[in-house]
Chain A
């Protein structure tokens, strides 16, 4: 299982702040996790296909090829707007 977090506009769209997700394999890439979540259909499909979506694995910004392991924390969020 991985702990998946959603923030800001994305959390509102999905009506979900946090969930535990069972990986299809014991190891998945960020891109594969996105595909797995997109396969749920709307609103996940649009959210996960958004090219502006940012992903952090264990609180570090991750590219699509980064590996996700069981026990990891994965955060999905839109571009940041602080300051």
Chain B
């Protein structure tokens, strides 16, 4: 399940959807990313999230497929918000269920790491000094490369 949406999401609803999937599920791992109010000590009033409609959904579907090839997960759900967001708002949800925790933990982190470096989303922050497109971080590329072997 992949959703790109302006509106907020409910962690409880997503958890329930992962829980109701099948009785053999023994583990659910969820991640929620939030908007922070600081960029290098500079205050951020809000941000605008843009994406490449169509390509985003394809990339995320492929990432879920890749995770399925690597781990025996049952299901994965990804929600990413777009549009105007403010400090403490939820931006992204990744949830995975599986029979055992090891696959669910690993697949959730894998999906989040690759979403960061592969899914075509861009953030524009409203900082005290003006609106700024956020630069990609080398640390995100390094996290992704840990999954190469």
Q: Is B74 close to A, CB under 8 A?
A: no
Q: Is A81 part of the contact surface with B, judged by Cβ < 8 Å? A: yes
Q: CA–CA, A7 to B119, complex, Å?
A: 13
Chain B binding surface, main DSSP class: mixed
In the bound assembly, the distance between CA atoms of A25 and B129 in angstroms comes to 46
Q: How far is the CA of A59 from the CA of B56 in the complex (A)?
A: 8
Interface assignment of B134: CB less than 8 Å from any CB of chain A: yes
The complex places the Cα of A6 from the Cα of B54 at a distance, in Å, of 14
Total chain A interface residues with beta-carbon distance under 8 A:
18
Q: Which A residues touch B121, using CB under 8 A?
A: 80-83
Point out residues on B near A: beta carbons under 8 Å. Answer: 33, 49-52, 54-55, 58, 80, 91-92, 112, 115-124, 133-137
Residues of A that sit less than 8 Å from B by CB = 5, 7-9, 12, 52, 56, 59-61, 75, 77-83
